[in-house]
Structure formats: C-alpha cells, structure tokens
Amino acid sequence: MVVSTKGCKAIFFDLDGTLRHTVPLGSDIFTEKAIELGLPISDEKQRETGRWEHYYWAQSSELMRDTAKFKDDQNDHAFWNNYAQLRLEKLGATPEQIETFYPLINKHMMNEYDPKNWVPPELYEVLPALRSAGYTLAVLSNRRSPFMETMVELSLDQYFDQIMAAGDIGSWKPDPKVFDQLLADFNLAPEETIYIGDNYYADVVGARNAGLIPVLYDPRGIFPDADCTRITSFTELADILQN
C-alpha cells in the first residue's frame, strides 16, 4: 500500500539499521560461521531468519519473555547463548547441530567480530537537500539512552532538528505513543509526517498505528512484499515526496 505524501512537512528517521549500519553485519558473520561448520542455508532461509530477527527485536513477546528469564544474568551470556540457539533453529539446524554449533559461533563472535559504523553515503547529500526544501527532520530510535555522541561521530547531528531515544520517554516502537512527543514538539499532525525505518514490525507497524506515513528502508530485500512504501536507497525519497 503506497500512501500519498502530499502535504508532508516532516520526516523522522530510525537510527540503527537505517541511518547507522554495522559493517560487517553480525547476522552475516553468524550465518557464515554456521555454514562453515556444516549447516546448509539457502538464501530464502536467510531472508526468513532476517524477518524473524526483526520481529524478535521489535519488543516481541518472545523478547520480553527472554529478557525476564535472563534478567539476573549480569553479563548477558545466558541471554546471548539462548539467542544463538533460537537463531540456529530458525536457520534450520537440528537440535544436535544447535547444541554443537552455538558455543563455537558465540566464541567466534566474541573473539573475531569487530564491526565498524557505516552510513549510506547518499545520506550526506539527501539530508541537506531535505533541510533546504524545508522539511523538519528528526531521529527517533528505540535506544534506551541518548546517542548524540554517535550522531556526532557519524557527522549526522547537524542535519536534524531533534534527536530522541525512546528510553527518554519510556515508550518503545511499535507502541504508537513513542511518536507523540516529537509530533507535539513540532506541532505536527501525524498525517503530515513520514517515518523511515528498516524494521517492518517496529517502524512500519508503529508509525502506521500512530497515524504517520510509514516508509520501509529495505536495502537487503528482507521484506520484498511489504504492504507499504518501500525503498532500497535514500535516493528514492525524492520520487516519493513528489507523489
């Protein structure tokens, strides 16, 4: 479902997976190690697992269950051991393979994985163009604490009128209430505002339920049949805003 953006005054962005990426992606390294250990994984199985990951981290009941279950684990080792087992199951591993592989994969991730921050380079042209065109720009992330230092490190801070962590207001996407503060701060109606994020279950569902116009940023093709406006590059925004 493609919704008209006529009358749009503001564009809000997600942070992680949208403006900011980790390179290489942890899920790719995890999958590559599983294949190296002998687990055959098709491209479609990887996409299915990618969709499950987005669902899981979108404040799902499963995440809430596991967070409560392992709340006394100060180093989060038990949580991540459990997550590795869940992910291997989604990738098609047998119970025996799960038991053998997950300690080896977690050890590999802990000792060898060294991700770097990366920003889609077109953003450094798209964002100033949007500001020049008069759009209000903001960032709304499901992070628990402020992240201005990260925005400065990425040289993105100067493009936004406001930068907000969901933890600052105690509400998390996809809860539609998470959008209320930004809308009120700029005296915006939801239908005047686009929200762009990479997680269908958190970003699209949350924005739609709050009355905003959702745009799914999906460069990896995880949600090819999404029932909303979908982009794979930020250069596509210009065409969307002309609708």
Instruction: Identify the residue whose tokens are 């009355």.
Output: 211
Determine how many CB atoms are found less than 10 A away from the CB of residue 5. Answer: 19
- From the first residue on, what is the mean pLDDT of each consecutive set of 10 residues in the chain (243 residues)? 72 98 97 97 96 97 95 86 97 98 96 96 97 97 97 98 96 96 97 98 98 98 96 95 81
Rounded CA gap, 55 and 61, in Å? 10
Rounded CA gap, 12 and 23, in Å? 24
pLDDT of residue 75: 75
User: Using N-to-C axis directions, what is the helix angle for 77-90 and 26-36, rounded to 10°?
Assistant: 70
pLDDT of residue 50: 97
Whether the model pTM is above 0.85: yes
pLDDT of residue 166: 97
Rounded CA gap, 110 and 26, in Å? 11
pLDDT of residue 4: 57
Residue 220: closest CA among 36, 51, 82: 51
Rounded CA gap, 108 and 28, in Å? 13
Question: What contacts 24+ positions apart, CB below 8 Å, involve 31-37?
Answer: 31/91, 33/104, 33/105, 33/108, 33/109, 34/88, 34/91, 34/93, 34/101, 34/105, 37/100, 37/101, 37/104, 37/105
Phi, psi of 12 (to 5 degrees): -105, 145
pLDDT of residue 133: 95
pLDDT of residue 73: 78
Q: Is the peptide bond before 174 cis (omega within 30 degrees of 0)?
A: yes
Helix (H) or strand (E) holding 43: helix 43-57
